[in-house]
Each structure stands twice: as C-alpha cells, then as structure tokens.
Amino acid sequence: MSDAIQMIVMPKWGLAMQEGMVAQWHVAEGAKITKGQEIVDIETSKIANVFESPISGTLRRLVVKDGETVPVAYLIGVVAEESVTDAEIDAFVEDFKANFVFDAAGAGGPEPEDATTAAGRIRYLEMGDGEGAPIVFIHGYGGDLNNWMFNQEELSAGHKTYAVDLPGHGGSTKDVGDTGLRGLAAAVVAFMDTKDIAKAHLVGHSMGGATALLLALEQPDRVASATLVAPAALGDEINMDYINGFIEEKRAKKLRPVLEMLVGDPSLISKDMVEDVLKFKRLDGVDAALKKLRDALMPGGKQAGSLRDGLAGLKVPVQILWGEVDQVLPVGHSEGLPASIKVTRFAGVGHMPHMEKAAETNELIRALAG
Amino acid sequence: MPKKTYRQAINEALRQEMERDHRVILMGEDISGGMGAPGEQDAWGGPLGVTKGIMPVFTRDRVLDTPITESAFIGAAAGAAATGLRPVAELMFVDFMGVCFDQIFNQAAKFKYMFGGKAVTPLTIRTMYGAGFRAASQHSQCLYPLFTHIPGLKVALPSNAYEAKGLLATAIRDDDPVMFFEHKAMYDDEAEVPDEAYTIPFGEANVTREGDDVTIIAFGRMVNFANEAADNLEKSGISCTVVDPRTTSPLDRDTILETCEETGRVVVVDEAHPRCNMATDIAAMCAQEIFGALKAPVKMVTGYHCPVPFSPALEDLYVPNAAKIEAAVREVAGKGH
C-alpha cells in the first residue's frame, strides 16, 4: 500500500466477530480525523460501540455506508493526502474489492492459546509487539479475556499485550485453589513466568483489579504499573444481588437484568452476551469455582481483605478508573486514596469503563504504560 | 470458540463422559466394527461415523459391537444400567424401536416406579431420526412423540452441535433412561462448541429469537428452519419469538406458555406426523392454559399423515421448511401483514 493512501477497516471486536455493520458515521467525507477520534458506530450481533480511528489524516472516502454490513478487515474508509486524486482513490477501492478474501477461520485476528503454567492451564490472547514491558489484562469476576475487546488491539500498537483468563474462568483451569485472591495473583505470576515476562504493566478490572493491586503491593519487582478499573478490595461494600444473581440465574431472561447492572446503559448488553455467559456457566467446574471465589472473597456478603491500608506504601505507579453509576462496586471506594494515585471518574458510566468509555480508558492506560 | 459438526460434538461428549466416569460404556451395531473378528478394528464407527475413533482410545470392553438384535442389546443395556453401569446404547434408526420397545417402555421406564423408587436406570439410548436423507419410510420417521408419551422416559432433541454436546452429557449423567434423538440430516452442520465438557439442563427451553408478533415453537432440526423463517420475516416487519424446548420430556411448559401468551399468535413446527405429535400437545396446552390470550387459532406445521415418501421430490414436499413456516406465520399474524 502506498503511504499516501491509508485504509480504515472493519475492526475485530472479540473472538467470534466475523462481520460488523456500520451503524452511523460521525464524520463526513473530507473531514480531518485524528488517531483515537470516535469516527463511526459499529454494531455486531454481540455488541454495539463507537470505533476510534486508528490513524490521522483526511477522510477521503466512506466506502461502506450507514446500515451496511461487511466482514472483518473489509475496507470501510480511505484516508489520503490532498495530493492523491479521486481517480486514484477509486482505483484503490476497486482494487481492494477485487482482491478481498474473507478469512472466516482467522477473520483477521489472532486466536487464544493455552499456556501450561504452575497454576494449571491458562488461556490467553497475545497481540502486538513492543520493546518495553508488556501489558497484561486481567478480567473481573465471571469475565474472560474477551472483556478487553475494545482495549487490547488498540494498545497492542506499541506494546506486546496478553489478555488472560483467570482460573475458574473462560478457557482456563476451573481449579481456583483455596487461597482466594492470593491464588488468582499466583496464577498471573505463574503465567508471566511461563511466558518469560519479568515485569508487566497490569490492567485489571474489578476482581482482576484487586489481583493487580495485590501484585503491585507484594511483588513490585514484577509490576511496571497498574491500571485498576473499578477494582475490588478497596472497601467492604459490594452488590451481592449481582454476584448471587450471576451465579444462580440459569435462564437468559432472568440473567439479563443481572448483567444489566454492569453498565450505565442497559442496551449495551446484547442477547449474545447473555448467551455467552450462560454457555460459560454450563462448563464443568464453573459453578463450583464461582461459588468458591465468592465465599473466599465476599464471605457473609462483604468484601474481605481490603488492600486500602497498604496503598501509601506502593512502590509502583498506580491509577484508578471508575464509573460514577457503578452498581456493583461503589464509586465511593475511589475516595480518600493517597494523592499519588490518579483517579479518573466517568459520568454516566457503570462497572465497565473499559467497554463503556474505551477510548478514554485506552488513553489513560497508554499515558501510564508509555 | 472452535467450530465443530454435530457428529464431532456427539463424539466428543461420548469421549469426555467415558473419561469422566469409568462406568460409561457404549454398545450398538457396528458402533466400532470388527469386534470378535481377526480383521481391522474400528473400521466402521457407526453407520454415519459418529462413534469412530472412540474404541482405540479406550478398551474393547467399553465399546461393544453388538449382534443385530435390538431386543437383546437394548435389554442388556437396560439391565447393565440397573446393575451399576451407565450404558449408552445406539439404536441405529429409531424406526427399529418396534423390536425392542418392550425393553424400553415396559422395563427401563418402569424400574424406578415399580421397584419403590430404589432402582436407578442411567441408560442413554442414542438414535437417529428424521427425513431428508432419501432413506425411505422405514428409516426416516420422527418417533419421539411415542417416547414422550411414556412416563419414566426423558426425551432430548438437540437442534445443533452445541446443544448436542451439552444435552448428551446431561443425558449420560442423568439417573433415568433418556432417549437421545439425533437428526441424521444434521451430522455435518457446524456450530461453535467449547472443547471443555459442559451440560445443558433438561426441561429448560432455549429462546433463540425474541419478537413481538408471533411465537414459533419448534423441535429438533426444525428449530433451524424456524430461525431462518423468523430472520426472513423480520425483514418484512413480522417479529417472531422462536422457542427450542430442547427436551420434550421433561417439557418446559412455563417458557412455552409464557412466550405464547406474550404474542397470542402461535405456530408449532414438528417434523413428526400430524396426529398425536408435539405440535398437537403444544396446541392443546395453549387451548387449556392461555385460551384468553390467543388472538388467532394455533397453526401447526408438520409432516403429513403418510409414510415418509421414498421419491426425492415427494420427500422434499413432506418435510417442513422455512417457506412453510413463513406462510403459517403470515397466516396467524393476520391481515395487517
């Protein structure tokens, strides 16, 4: 491809995504766009979200119009310098269309792999390359590596990145051991050992945020920085209706209102997301693992083992992100922290800032991880 | 998630359950091939290759090729279940049930009741059903309504590969006799299927589409046609709920009645002959329980009251399809559409 003409293609959000619909462009042909700018709403059967431009320049052509559905990696827009003629862009687009081959199996993205670690089988997704410490993403209770679908690819531009499934979750071992948060932290370290990662920028959400924080406190030599997204273990309050509903509800109709507690805007929870959680919960060992983690981390309906007191002694940079309408963990847990910890709050956002405010979250992670 | 065929999903469930529990054994005609003979072993793997490759990774005494005598080996499987094993017997075509029906409905189905609740019969009978395979009248029937009629039997009708793996694991772990119906025209159909073992509970319907205008209740392979019809109808402004009951016994009456009541317009799709089938069962249920909510007569899309024809042209006419379902939905949806 000529440097003068750059492509914007249909992103791959999550492992199962094969195609997406351009719901609405926010920019017109001829507009100057910048990297990270929200340029188009994209919908898949699983999720709808706004797509940030991966490049800067003049948007010369909207190849896919509002309402059209195309495969992953298909050309949706063309960015080019002023010197490029319309005829050249026409030829470029025609050439793309003539040569595009949809790779259904890969659909343009890497597949998760299994690592055999001291903590058992850990499934992970690796993306990107970079010189510095890699980024390791750690999901929350009941989540999996797919939770970072709006973050990992974006941040893999300058870093090697790994999203892991914690024990008891996704495709990893369903044996969560008997040591609660400590066991999860040990599993992350075991994964890092297996992949020869001396030190990582940790990005953890909720229970994964508590896991990252525990590592930052106790094994600072392994942690370059930690971005904690609505982390657990900063207070004792937690919405047990969410936790117990997540464990107990076995039907889509009953599970949906539980999952809607995760986000500020309930329409973000698609039918497929509910189905995926049900499928996860049907796997052998998951029910026992979820209950075991609940009983270890939230005995009697309160969070055990707050890490708040240790924060003043942190030896690595830590930042915290929180949604102001979080219904799972109260945003108040982000108050009264040492001044060295940067706290960013998002108005109208629930428990999933990394999905609900992906662009801002990615920018903050980039700012800390370099 | 990896894509697997219906055939692979069933094979994987069998292997994983055999690994999980040493009491699980397989038996049936040609399910491996060559047992007791000096020639090649496991050359066959069942008439459509569903059980191929299992025998070599286990031992011969857990994968048994049986004589061509359904009455004998289905009876033996029922006895083995009653005395501590968890057999999975393959009744090659459900059309052959006639020669072993006593072993199923009078013996296996009755043990628990007649022995004071003390007997458990963890027997799974896998069997092929359905038309569309050019296999003529004696190899194409949908006899699940006959088994649904019998108290003491559970009946599962997986509608795709994901459902097949999870429902088969549930069947094998269940302590009651289960009839597991595999549609022979679906073995090459693919779906995303986890590598890990999982179970799908019996008696919990799956709502595969959610709509406001018409509720379609469909069974087994017909769920796929109902989904296709619903997707087509959506484009012309008719939105449908599609319900896959997954098991006809136990039957998820709550979900079926609730979704039918929501729209008040019901189409039931059942590949079986039209008399005394699942469609008539659901229609009767609607008439009894939610009559006041119905806005139109319940419409049934089924096979015909005739043997499944051997002529390919006639067989194609016999089987319900998306176009027939769409026409039925338009009919119950009324003049507004």
Give the model's confidence band at B335: pLDDT under 50 very low, under 70 low, under 90 confident, else very high: low
Count the neighbouring beta carbons within 10 Å of the beta carbon of residue A245.
Answer: 16
* Chain A residues closer than 8 Å to B198 by CB: 279, 282-284
For domain B206-333, is the CATH number 4.10.640.10?
no
pLDDT, residue A1, reads 43
Give tens-digit pLDDT for B206-257. 999 999 999 999 999 999 999 999 999 999 999 999 999 999 999 999 999 9
> What is this structure's pTM?
0.88
Test the B interface: residue of A283, A286, A287 with most B CBs within 10 Å: A283
A vs B: CB pairs below 8 A:
29
- Short-list A261, A200, A205, CA closest to A229: A205
Please list the active-site residues of B: 139
* Chain B residues closer than 8 Å to A174 by CB: 196
pLDDT, residue A47, reads 80
Segment holding B284, helix H or strand E: helix B278-289
B198 and A283 within 8 Å at the Cβ level: the answer is yes
Test the A interface: residue of B160, B198, B262 with most A CBs within 10 Å: B198
Same fold, B3-192 and B206-333: yes
Q: Which CATH architecture has domain B3-192?
A: 3-Layer(aba) Sandwich (3.40)
The answer for residues whose C-beta is within 8 angstroms of residue A105's C-beta and 6 or more apart is none
Contact A120, A173 (CB under 8 A): yes
Beta strands in chain A (DSSP E): 5-9, 19-25, 32-33, 38-43, 48-52, 57-62, 69-71, 75-80, 113-117, 120-127, 135-138, 161-164, 200-205, 223-229, 318-323, 342-346
Q: Picking from A328-342, B35-49, B82-96, B253-267, which range would have the lowest pLDDT averaged per residue?
A: B35-49
* Three state DSSP letters for A297-329: HCHHHCCCCCCHHHHHHCCCCEEEEEECCCCCC
The answer for residues whose C-beta is within 8 angstroms of residue B336's C-beta and 6 or more apart is none
Q: Helices (H), strands (E): how many in chain B?
A: 11, 14
Give tens-digit pLDDT for B164-213. 999 999 999 999 999 999 999 999 999 999 999 999 999 999 999 999 99
Instruction: Parse chain B into domains and list their residue ranges.
Output: 3-192, 206-333
Which among B198, B204, B210 has CB closest to A251? B204
* pLDDT (average), residues B295-321: 97
Which residues of chain B approach chain A closer than 8 Å at the C-beta? 1, 162, 166, 192, 194-201, 204, 207, 210, 255
pLDDT, residue A46, reads 76
Give tens-digit pLDDT for B259-287. 999 999 999 999 999 999 999 999 999 99
- Short-list A132, A140, A266, A280, CA closest to A205: A140
Q: Could you tell me which residue, A1 or B4, shows the higher pLDDT?
A: B4
Could you identify the residue written with the tokens 């027997």?
A: B123
Q: Hey, what domains does chain A have and what are their CATH numbers?
A: 5-99 (2.40.50.100), 113-369 (3.40.50.1820)
The answer for residues whose C-beta is within 8 angstroms of residue B259's C-beta and 6 or more apart is B207, B215, B217, B241, B243
pLDDT higher than 60, residue B337: no
pLDDT, residue A370, reads 83
The C-alpha of A270 sits at a distance from chain B's nearest C-alpha, in angstroms, of 12
Contact A77, A61 (CB under 8 A): yes
A279 and B162 within 8 Å at the Cβ level: the answer is yes
Burial of B151 (0-12, 13-18, 19+ CB in 10 A): exposed
State yes or no: cis peptide before B250, omega within 30 of 0. Answer: yes
The answer for residues whose C-beta is within 8 angstroms of residue B38's C-beta and 6 or more apart is none
* Chain A residues closer than 8 Å to B204 by CB: 250-251
Give the Å distances, CA to CA, from A40 to A65, A92, A265, A352, B180: 10, 21, 19, 21, 47
pLDDT, residue B74, reads 98
A284 and B198 within 8 Å at the Cβ level: the answer is yes
pLDDT, residue A17, reads 81
Please provide the average confidence, as pLDDT, over all residues in chain B: 96
pLDDT, residue B336, reads 53
Strand B154-156 vs strand B178-183: parallel, antiparallel, or unpaired? parallel
A252 touches chain B (CB under 8 A): yes
pLDDT, residue A2, reads 47
Phi and psi, residue A2, nearest 5°: -70, 145
A251 and B199 within 8 Å at the Cβ level: the answer is no
- Which residues are bridge partners to B190 per DSSP? B5
Residue in chain A closest to B209 (alpha carbons) equals A271
A283 and B201 within 8 Å at the Cβ level: the answer is no
pLDDT tens, chain A, 370 aa long:
446 899 999 988 876 788 899 999 999 999 999 987 889 999 887 788 888 888 899 999 999 999 999 998 899 999 998 889 999 999 999 999 998 887 765 555 688 999 999 999 999 999 999 889 999 999 999 999 999 999 998 899 889 999 999 999 999 999 999 889 999 999 999 999 999 999 999 999 999 999 999 999 999 999 999 999 999 999 999 999 999 999 999 988 899 999 999 999 998 898 889 999 999 999 999 999 999 999 999 999 999 989 999 999 999 999 999 999 999 999 999 999 999 999 999 999 999 999 999 989 999 999 999 8
Strand A48-52 vs strand A38-43: parallel, antiparallel, or unpaired? antiparallel
- DSSP assignment of A91-105, as one string? HHHHHHHHH----TT
**Residue B11 to residue B26: CA distance in whole angstroms:** 11
The C-alpha of A214 sits at a distance from chain B's nearest C-alpha, in angstroms, of 30
A282 and B200 within 8 Å at the Cβ level: the answer is yes
A283 and B1 within 8 Å at the Cβ level: the answer is no
Query: Can you tell me whether residue B179 is helix, strand or coil?
Result: strand
Q: Helices (H), strands (E): how many in chain A?
A: 10, 16
Could you identify the residue written with the tokens 């080019």?
A: A80
A27 touches chain B (CB under 8 A): no
